[in-house]
Amino acid sequence: MPKADLLNQFIKTLKGFDKVVKNVKFLKGDKGNCVATVKIQEDNLNPMGGLHGGFSATLVDSISSFGLMTHEPWATPSVSVNINLTYLKGAKVGEEITIISNVLRAGKTMAYLDVELRNAADQLLVKAEHTKFKMGA
């Protein structure tokens, strides 16, 4: 079974705060990298009616972490050390967002991910760096 399909099955089983990303659909996922999409819903908005920065941050954190699980030595749990989010452009309800996560480096103890949120016109909405630490390392 393609790893993107496995991630799509996995994401459906999630409880806790990851329920807020349950509508995300993985298109690709391998060697720690992944591409996923989600349609912005009313539940994802800020008080001004735009994409909420906390929801964007959750997409960055969760999707890059799940994608990282397709990187063989990083299938084991890891925790976030640092997430840096730069917000370049807003988005509205109904827009389709693409989340692109790439492993910059995954060593024995630390993994470094670059994550982008883009709209349907391929405009960059959020640029993020995510540093993770392997538990038990």
Q: Are 13 and 66 in contact (CB under 8 A)?
A: no
From 23, 27, 89, 98, residue interacting with its own copies (rule: CB under 8 A): 89
Query: How many helices (H) and strands (E) are present in the chain, helices listed first?
Result: 2, 6
101: contact with its own copies by CB under 8 A: no
Of 127, 82, 75, nearest to 101 (Cα)? 127
H/E segment holding residue 62:
helix 53-68
52: contact with its own copies by CB under 8 A: yes
Binding mask 7-36 for its own copies (x = CB under 8 A): -------xxxxxxxx---------------
From 71, 83, 95, 98, residue interacting with its own copies (rule: CB under 8 A): 83
57: contact with its own copies by CB under 8 A: yes
Candidates 1-9, 28-36, 82-90; binding stretch for its own copies (CB under 8 A): 82-90
DSSP conformation letters of 92-108: -TT-EEEEEEEEEEE-S
